[in-house]
Amino acid sequence: MKHLLPFFAGFVIFMVISSAFYMGFMPYPTSSCVVPEDQMNIPAMMLGNVLMVGLAAYMIASTGNFSAASGAKHGAIAALAANGTLSVFTYGFYTCDGAHIFELNEVVMDIVANMVFLGIAGAVIGILYQRAAKS
């Protein structure tokens, strides 16, 4: 239970913020190799987000330094490592119809956005771990 509440709260915060961003601000990729939104594999997307938030929660719990600032820092680092790797590899390894699946500016925007979002989620995780450590 000690780890479940911080993880779950971070996951919910991350999902709300990132969903609002991707549904409202970032344009959906126009490549013919990207499935239309209504055909996305939502369970796979959720699992990827669980793994990324889980990495952040693990990093925060491992440090023993529980605060919003420490959580935000480790959340942003987890996003850079996990999402950055995925985005850069996708950009570098996969093409479609003779072009990259995503434009380089979309890759950069995705990495930076996820660092911010997981940084916010990490701050929440850090606060909840701090609260639990004090009690």
pLDDT of 84 strictly over 90 = yes
The residue type found at 126 is G
The CA radius of gyration of the chain, in Å to the nearest whole number, is 16
Do 11 and 130 form a contact (C-beta atoms < 8 A)?
no
Strands (E), 24-102: 95-96, 99-100
pLDDT in tens, 25-45: 887 777 778 888 889 899 999
Distance CA 41, CA 25 (A): 21
pLDDT class of 12 with cuts at 50, 70, 90: very high
For all residues of the chain together, what is the average pLDDT? 92
pTM (2 decimals)?
0.90
pLDDT tens for 33-78 read 888 888 989 999 999 999 999 999 999 999 988 999 999 999 999 9
Confidence at residue 60, expressed as pLDDT on a 0 to 100 scale? 96
